[in-house]
Amino acid sequence: MRNRKEQMTKQERTRGWIFFALYILVLPLLVGFVRFVMESVWAFSLSDVSANFIYHVALTAAICILFSSYLLNAWNILLDFLPENLIALGIGLLGFLLLRFLTSKLPLPLVDTMPTSYAQEYLYAPKLTMIVFIFLMPIAEELLFRGLLFGTVKQTSRPFAYGLTVLIFCLSSVWPLAVTAGDARYIWNALEYLPMALSLCWCYDKGGSIFSPIVLHWVIHAITLLHGLSML
């Protein structure tokens, strides 16, 4: 029986932190710049759905390569501690639903447009949207936020790991919209991401394998997509 404690190699952590900084600060702007050059210089344009698909396929592949040994270890832990991970997943989902119900009652100044945005993309290209939003995005985000950030900080302080990971995850989910829309009030929508951030951290902390929050993230995004479709 293996120890239910995942370990990233020192090389994986070093590469991971560099990539994490690029993911948060550089890649979103770089993708926009590349699309601008393609359209203005080469007169070649991609739809938002196609651009998102190409970006997230490349992103997920790169992250999986960076954390290859970590993923193998996580898979072995999942098999060795399957009941614990299934319980963590189930309780995490129930916690998300309860907390999401409570945060939905908050009087936020602006409505989060993410659910309807992906719902509209789904109507335009359902298969590509499902691959990106439900499957690829959670893999990349869990490896970076829960696997790298939470897993590293937890070695020093579990409460601080929860607080820091939840804060960065929630803010990273809304700041691009606040910048694009030019309206800082969208930062308040970070409160709507608290249920997901907390439940995913708890699921990983209690289950022990990164595959548990990845599956939970898939389920949450599927629920979010269905909610967005119901709002159209």
Q: In this structure, which amino acid lies at residue 115? A: P
DSSP assignment of 31-71:
HHHHHHHHHHTS-----HHHHHHHHHHHHHHHHHHHTHHHH
- The Cα 118–Cα 229 span in angstroms is 9
| Among 9-18, 112-121, 209-218, the least confident range | 112-121
Q: Residue 113 — pLDDT band, cuts 50, 70, 90?
A: confident
User: What pLDDT does 63 receive?
Assistant: 95
Distances (CA, A) of 21 to 137, 154, 172: 17, 19, 12
Structure-block tokens of residue 105: 């009652």
Q: In this structure, which amino acid lies at residue 230? A: S
Q: Mean pLDDT throughout 26-50?
A: 75
- The Cα 90–Cα 95 span in angstroms is 9
DSSP assignment of 120-165:
HHHHH-HHHHIIIIIIIHHHHHIIIIIIIIIHHHTTT-HHHHHHHH
Angle made by CA atoms 107, 192, 50, in degrees to the nearest 5: 125
Q: Where are the domains of the chain?
A: 10-231
Contacts of residue 178, defined as CB under 8 A and 6 or more positions apart, other chains included, come to 184, 185, 186, 187
What share of the chain has pLDDT > 90, as a percent? 66
How crowded is the C-beta side of 59, counted as CA atoms within 13 Å?
A: 27
- The Cα 101–Cα 10 span in angstroms is 40
pLDDT digits (tens, 9 = 90+) for 170-219: 998 888 778 777 888 889 999 999 999 999 999 999 999 999 999 999 99
- The Cα 179–Cα 68 span in angstroms is 34
Q: Residue 34 — pLDDT band, cuts 50, 70, 90?
A: confident
